[in-house]
Amino acid sequence: MRFSEHELTAALHGAAKSVLGAQRKVRRGQDVNEVWDSMDRLERFRLLDGLGGQVLPVLVALPDVEVAVGTRPSYDDAVIAEVVTGLLGDGVGGRLKRAVVVKGRTALVQVALASVPPRRDPDALLHHDDDLPEVPDSPEGL
């Protein structure tokens, strides 16, 4: 699937905030965004770096789908699990550990996809000729 740099960044930040929200210190009633803002750059980097290796390869390997303007890309858990399984290789231990890793990464990728901003209409970003100010042909009269 083709994602813009902004979409991948938003997806990774959404997954990181979800993981951060599951940690004990945040579950005590602190807001995830407040904890995220209080982290220094090194802490954020370590969290994003650890998740990037798990989430980004899966997002890039997802099959292309047509995404309508104003919506986010979405996939079934089965499609994501198939991609995750294909990317895991034989490095993961037994069947049970492999199943847990596939389920966990599938859920993490679903959170990341939910954090992707809705697609914009690329034609709406262009100005129409009626909206532009009149530009004189010569500098006379300015």
**Rounded Cα gap, residues 84 and 88, in angstroms:** 6
Q: What angle do CA 44, 49, 53 make, to 5 degrees?
A: 150
- Percentage of residues of the chain with pLDDT beyond 70: 87
The pLDDT, as a whole number, for residue 53 is: 92
Kindly list the distances between the CA atom of residue 64 and the CA atoms of 35, 59, 60, in Å, as whole numbers in the listed order: 35, 10, 9
Each residue's pLDDT, cut to its tens digit, for the chain (142 residues) gives 788 899 999 999 999 999 998 887 776 778 888 889 999 999 999 999 999 999 999 999 999 988 888 899 999 999 999 999 989 877 777 888 889 999 999 999 999 999 999 988 766 655 555 555 666 677 776 6
Query: Taking the complete model, does pTM exceed 0.85, yes or no?
Result: no
| Domains of the chain, residue spans | 5-119
Q: Residue 104 corresponds to which amino acid?
A: G
